[in-house]
Structure 1
Amino acid sequence: MKYRFLAGICIVCSSLFWGCSQPEPQTTSIEGIWVCTLETALDYPESKRITALLIGEGNGGIIEARGCIMWDGSYLYPWNLEQASFSDSTQTLTLVDEDGDRYEGILESDQHTIRGYFWSGDPGQNKPIDTVDFIRADPQLAQTLFYPRLPGPNGHTAYTYKSPEALEDGLEVANINTFTGDSLALYALLSNIISQDYGRLESLLVMKDSQLVLEEYFYGYDKSHLHNIHSCTKSIASLVLGIVMEHYEDVELSLPLFDFFPEYDHLAINGKELISVEHLLCMTAGFPVDDTPGWVDLDDQLLNILSRPLAEVPGEIFQYNNNNSILLGGVLQNITGEPADQLVKKYLFDLMGISSYQWAYVDGLPQCHSDLQMLPRDMAKIGQLVLNDGRWGDLQLVPKEWIQESTRPHLAESEYFDYGYHWWLRSASNKAWWDKPEIRSNAGHEMVIALGFGGQYIMIIRDLNLVVVTTASDYSNGHMARSKIPLVIEKFIPLFE
């Protein structure tokens, strides 16, 4: 892996990590957790990516190494190291990754700073390509990066079920054993999750019969940690659109998009005049997915999107595109005079006891395509709201008709998924994409899914009165990010059938 892609490598070396053994025993004066200095972190457009380093003694006094990249203080993806050594005589740390790139750093006499360089493994490269210095960091970083659960005194991690905690947050709780008698299967499943068989899960919650029966957190997360739900944000925007349409009866999905943007109506040309609100919801508006070649971004986000030429005829081809959801946020604001985040607060979150969350903004517009941060317990509330056909307690928050219409298939995304109005759908007609699917993978349990980048899911199985929520950081491994769906289909559903 070339360092130009490693802006914020988190390098973790510990006796519990594998894959980097060395032939000569090493001393352990360099043991501990480190992070790179801000001055030597690489800048990315969205943020710096910080390098972290944990050194530990392996078998026979050698050190072992494993790495990852951090983004906004969280795990992003691994950096695979193949060699690691530390010379006590020269106080030199050497790390070599799978691409042959090499880091060499000197531990200063105070043992609080490592100063060093990256060298390219490419032939003919004999000069360092970057400077990276490390300082000691909080020891808890190790769990945040690499330990789903800390091992016990015997070096093993044993799973023990505990009923979810009852809080004054509107969720009822119960013991999962009330609903399933197969505790051995549950324990085996959670042990596999802790072993990362289903990726880097950071939370896993299950609602059964309107009660929270499973609440597990990993990698140092807990019920108080907000998590970026990424494109699950789209599904929440769809819910609030249904509420707004009930209040504004003249609003119809068939209306032209530019009816809601009169200030931009001069751009309703070359096919864009055919775009409707429904096209936004179904991802068939026809806007290009990638930036138009040679296009100069404008300061106005909506103007920037609406100015681009179409790539497809509106209504003809499904093309997943964040711009559709960004425009939906503009539609909501132009209908009501209020930004989308305030509408969600007023019509949903305040009434559901959801008070801890953060929206992302661009050019003053709350983003409806991604980056809403929520608590996993509150994500479970959203799933339960949809399962209840828009009802929360005694309140009908979202029109039942809208829930039914928005969560039914409107077109096929692929042979694996259908798509509604910003909701993903699976049924017996959809194929399994994962290796060696079990027969039950195409069983008759329909799923309504809010799906976010990296393994964020709200999965609703109506006929079992079941909601499953996951948050994860499988940002570089699409296979692992998608593994949450077979996890539910093949492992959780059988527990409750």
Structure 2
Amino acid sequence: MNQEKVTALEIKINNDYSNIAGMVVFKDGKTLYENYFNECTASSRIHVYSVTKSIVSILFGIAVDKGYIKDINQKVLDFFPDYIVKRRENTIRDVTVKDLLIMTAPYKYKLAPYKKYFTSDDYVKFTLDLLGGRGQIGKFRYAPLIGPDILSGILVKTTGKSVFDFAMENLFSPLGISVKTNLVFHSKEEQLAFNKASNISGWVVDPSGVNTAGWGLTLTPMDMARIGQLYLAGGIWENNQIVSSKWIEESTKEHSRWEKLDLPYGYLWWIDENGYAAMGDGGNVIYVNTKKNIVVSIASFFKPGVTDRIEFIKQYIEPIFENCV
């Protein structure tokens, strides 16, 4: 590893990617780089925004492996038999779990009603009320916040456990990842403070106690790297099969595509020509290059309009570490 290039990389981070909190690089399962910025340390925990979605994808894979969920082609409403569908809203009846995982479910909103969402008592019910409508099932529509929570509701229904407890038992604890508690916001100010914090360990829940699926999880950069390494290793961690290689293979290949940006999508993972990535607002990313056996995790504080982190990784990080042994 060329120390001069590493020094140049860190100068670039401080100058051009100044919201980065920490970064970890694995090559062949070994830690080649770990460093922290903005007064953060190895114990700092950052809100990773939509990286949360990819964690939920893993939990769905585990639930499928364990037989809690029989088939992701099941209709969403099969899991909510008591939900009452309004007249003339039959589109919702045909939406499948897979449609939620690959972002091909339609919703009855043009501009996301975030204020109503954040102030609702039940994010799952709120989202079910917006599912369907006149949109076409099968057409990609990325749902940043309002949409994925239905998946949390399905996990709760099928496993009989909270998403937090299921994740702790089957994913976090086996990987040595510490997520301390469920988080409840009592005000807008608390949520805004959470987005800027580096010392809060937890996963947001709505007032009914269901964990968010599209945002709301805090992780360290090393936690994120471990998630990436788990997938790179075919779901095996310390000789234990955490999630099946079959699920990983299926979830990290293209099932849909955001045509506007020409971005292929798997099961809540973005697909790349060299592998795949979990990405969240502000430049949070777990990047897995399956061809070079590299995992890069970057935790970042929120900042609007950040520069593309995947291009940053390919241009400035991989050339430094790809030939290291």
Pairwise same-fold verdict (TM > 0.5)? yes
Q: Percent identity?
A: 28
- 1:284 maps to amino acid: T
1:472 paired with 2:300, answer yes
Question: Which is bigger in relative contact order (C-alpha 8 A, separation at least 6)?
Answer: 2
Question: Does structure 1 conserve the Cα–Cα contact (< 8 Å) formed by 2:68 and 2:159?
Answer: no
Once residues 411 and 313 of structure 1 are traced to their aligned partners in structure 2, the CA distance between those partners, rounded to angstroms, is 14
Question: Does structure 2 conserve the Cα–Cα contact (< 8 Å) formed by 1:199 and 1:474?
Answer: no
- 1:286 maps to amino acid: P
1:420 paired with 2:239, answer no
Question: Does structure 2 conserve the Cα–Cα contact (< 8 Å) formed by 1:286 and 1:319?
Answer: no
Equivalent of 1:328, from 148, 151, 162? 151
Which residue in 2 is equivalent to 1:312? 135
More off after superposition, 385-394 vs 411-420: 411-420
Q: Unaligned stretches of 5+ in structure 2? A: 180-200
Equivalent of 1:281, from 84, 91, 101? 101
- RMSD (CA atoms): 2.2
Pairing 1:382-397 to 2, within 5 Å after superposition: 382-397=227-242
- 1:455 maps to amino acid: G
Question: Does structure 2 conserve the Cα–Cα contact (< 8 Å) formed by 1:258 and 1:265?
Answer: no
- 1:193 maps to amino acid: I
Instruction: Encode CA deviations 1:244-279: one digit per residue, 9 max, x unaligned.
Output: 011126621111000001110435933110100001
Question: Does structure 2 conserve the Cα–Cα contact (< 8 Å) formed by 1:198 and 1:487?
Answer: no
Which residue in 1 is equivalent to 2:184? none
Equivalent of 1:494, from 301, 319, 322? 319
- 1:192 maps to amino acid: K
- 2:268 maps to amino acid: H
Which residue in 2 is equivalent to 1:247? 66
Identify, as 1 or 2, the structure richer in helix: 2
1:361 paired with 2:180, answer no
More off after superposition, 184-193 vs 230-239: 184-193
Question: Does structure 1 conserve the Cα–Cα contact (< 8 Å) formed by 2:47 and 2:301?
Answer: no
Name which one, 1 or 2, has greater alpha-carbon Rg.
Answer: 1
Please state how far the C-alpha of 1:490 moved relative to its aligned partner.
1.0
Please state how far the C-alpha of 1:380 moved relative to its aligned partner.
0.9
Please state how far the C-alpha of 1:365 moved relative to its aligned partner.
0.8
- 2:277 maps to amino acid: I
Which residue in 1 is equivalent to 2:192? none
1:213 paired with 2:38, answer no
Question: Does structure 1 conserve the Cα–Cα contact (< 8 Å) formed by 2:48 and 2:217?
Answer: yes
Question: Does structure 2 conserve the Cα–Cα contact (< 8 Å) formed by 1:289 and 1:321?
Answer: no
SS in structure 2 at match of 1:365: coil
Distance 1:311 1:319, change over 3 A: farther
Please state how far the C-alpha of 1:474 moved relative to its aligned partner.
4.4
More off after superposition, 279-288 vs 349-358: 349-358
1:378 paired with 2:199, answer no
SS in structure 2 at match of 1:371: coil
- 2:269 maps to amino acid: W
Question: Does structure 2 conserve the Cα–Cα contact (< 8 Å) formed by 1:289 and 1:320?
Answer: no
- 2:123 maps to amino acid: Q
Which residue in 2 is equivalent to 1:433? none
Pairing 1:394-473 to 2, within 5 Å after superposition: 394-414=239-259, 415-427=261-273, 446-473=274-301
Instruction: Encode CA deviations 1:192-233: one digit per residue, 9 max, x unaligned.
Output: 222x22342111111111111111111110011111111101
- 2:226 maps to amino acid: K
Once residues 386 and 338 of structure 1 are traced to their aligned partners in structure 2, the CA distance between those partners, rounded to angstroms, is 24
Q: Unaligned stretches of 5+ in structure 1? A: 1-176, 428-445
Which residue in 1 is equivalent to 2:161? 338
Once residues 62 and 95 of structure 2 are traced to their aligned partners in structure 1, the CA distance between those partners, rounded to angstroms, is 22
Question: Does structure 1 conserve the Cα–Cα contact (< 8 Å) formed by 2:220 and 2:299?
Answer: no
Once residues 306 and 123 of structure 2 are traced to their aligned partners in structure 1, the CA distance between those partners, rounded to angstroms, is 32
Instruction: Encode CA deviations 1:435-454: one digit per residue, 9 max, x unaligned.
Output: xxxxxxxxxxx131110111
SS in structure 1 at match of 2:71: coil
Which residue in 1 is equivalent to 2:197? none
Normalising to structure 2: TM-score of the pair? 0.84
Question: Does structure 1 conserve the Cα–Cα contact (< 8 Å) formed by 2:232 and 2:290?
Answer: yes
SS in structure 1 at match of 2:285: strand
Once residues 91 and 113 of structure 2 are traced to their aligned partners in structure 1, the CA distance between those partners, rounded to angstroms, is 17
SS in structure 2 at match of 1:366: coil
Identify, as 1 or 2, the structure richer in strand: 1
- 2:29 maps to amino acid: S
Distance 1:295 1:339, change over 3 A: closer
Normalising to structure 1: TM-score of the pair? 0.56
Once residues 215 and 295 of structure 1 are traced to their aligned partners in structure 2, the CA distance between those partners, rounded to angstroms, is 40
Equivalent of 1:300, from 91, 116, 122? 122
Distance 1:289 1:244, change over 3 A: farther
Once residues 113 and 49 of structure 2 are traced to their aligned partners in structure 1, the CA distance between those partners, rounded to angstroms, is 24
Which residue in 2 is equivalent to 1:348? 171
Distance 1:215 1:303, change over 3 A: same
Once residues 487 and 291 of structure 1 are traced to their aligned partners in structure 2, the CA distance between those partners, rounded to angstroms, is 30
Please state how far the C-alpha of 1:290 moved relative to its aligned partner.
2.8
- 2:205 maps to amino acid: Y
Which residue in 2 is equivalent to 1:290? 111
